[in-house]
């Protein structure tokens, strides 16, 4: 089996309410939330997962975000350059989902085909009013979408897996590495979604789930529950999309 290396690239970090990641618990507790894209190395082709967002892009997305506590780290181009890449070098972008903070820089990669679940693309083009500000029609224009349905091998050892719930068409990305199967979760989450303390329901909140906690933002709570379980069961290494500890990891392995 072909084996790869994953490099998380953090463009910005924000101070936000933990409850946005954890359904019905931990509201009022602050965490650092990184905005990450992922470079998969060793494929021959240049593959990234998501394209993230930096601080000024985030503040400019909506008037309500102008005072958001978010710190700039790198632009998309600066982060790619750390792997000796430029936007036009990218061959494949796997979009976990199409919320603006995960695809803000996708249009910069003019030569890339963009792999996305068909159900996600359809919803992004006409989102329910509840989620309207999470999607942006302008960010989707001109992209070379490759809509797919269901589980799909992108290259040997790299597979996308539907994990709906956070959005209708979320997909996780399974990557074979020297240290086992790493799964980029595909939905907005932190480590505690997968590994809550055993007493969380008895001691923290009667509404808390166990053995997992669903994302605080979701389209369908029951689907979200099953998707968190699926990733946890599949992965040797879980890579949550907004886990603070990812900021301290240069690569997997």
Domain boundaries, the chain: 5-248
CA dist 75 → 90, 91, 166 (Å):
16, 19, 26
Report the distance separating Cα 219 and Cα 237, nearest Å.
25
29-68: pLDDT as tens digits: 999 999 999 999 999 999 999 999 999 999 999 999 999 9
Look at residue 133 in the predicted model and tell me its pLDDT.
94
Look at residue 56 in the predicted model and tell me its pLDDT.
96
Look at residue 1 in the predicted model and tell me its pLDDT.
78
Beta-ladder partners of 145: 114
**What is the mean predicted confidence (pLDDT) over 64-84?**
96
**Phi/psi of residue 65, nearest 5 degrees:** -95, 0
> CB under 8 Å to 44, separation ≥6 — which residues?
none
**What is the mean predicted confidence (pLDDT) over 168-184?**
98
Beta-ladder partners of 239: 184
CATH number of 5-248: 3.60.15.10
CA angle at 113 for the pair 166 and 103, rounded to the nearest 5°: 40
**What is the mean predicted confidence (pLDDT) over 220-246?**
97
> Edge to edge, what strands does the sheet with 152-155 contain?
152-155, 158-162, 171-177, 180-184, 237-239
To the nearest whole percent, how much of the chain has pLDDT over 90?
92
Look at residue 205 in the predicted model and tell me its pLDDT.
80
């Amino acid at each position: 089996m072909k084996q790869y290396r994953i490099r998380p690239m953090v463009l910005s970090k924000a101070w936000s309410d933990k409850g946005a990641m954890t359904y019905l618990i931990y509201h009022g507790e602050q965490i650092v939330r990184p905005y990450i894209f992922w470079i998969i190395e060793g494929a021959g082709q240049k593959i990234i997962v998501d394209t993230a967002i930096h601080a000024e892009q985030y503040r400019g997305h909506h008037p309500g975000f102008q005072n958001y506590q978010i710190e700039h780290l790198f632009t998309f181009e600066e982060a790619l350059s750390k792997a000796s890449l430029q936007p036009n070098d990218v061959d494949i972008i796997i979009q976990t989902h199409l919320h603006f903070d995960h695809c803000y820089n996708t249009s910069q990669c003019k030569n890339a085909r963009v792999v996305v679940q068909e159900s996600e693309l359809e919803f992004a083009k006409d989102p329910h009013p509840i989620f309207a500000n999470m999607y942006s029609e302008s960010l989707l224009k001109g992209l070379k979408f490759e809509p797919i349905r269901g589980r799909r091998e992108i290259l040997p050892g790299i597979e996308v897996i539907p994990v709906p719930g956070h959005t209708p068409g979320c997909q996780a990305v399974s990557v074979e590495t020297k240290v086992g199967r790493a799964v980029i979760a595909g939905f907005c989450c932190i480590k505690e979604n997968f590994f809550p303390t055993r007493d969380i329901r008895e001691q923290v909140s009667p509404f808390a789930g166990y053995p997992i906690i669903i994302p605080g933002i979701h389209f369908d709570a029951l689907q979200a529950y099953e998707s968190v379980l699926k990733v946890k069961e599949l992965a040797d290494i879980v890579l949550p999309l907004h886990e603070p500890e990812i900021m301290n990891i240069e690569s997997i392995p």
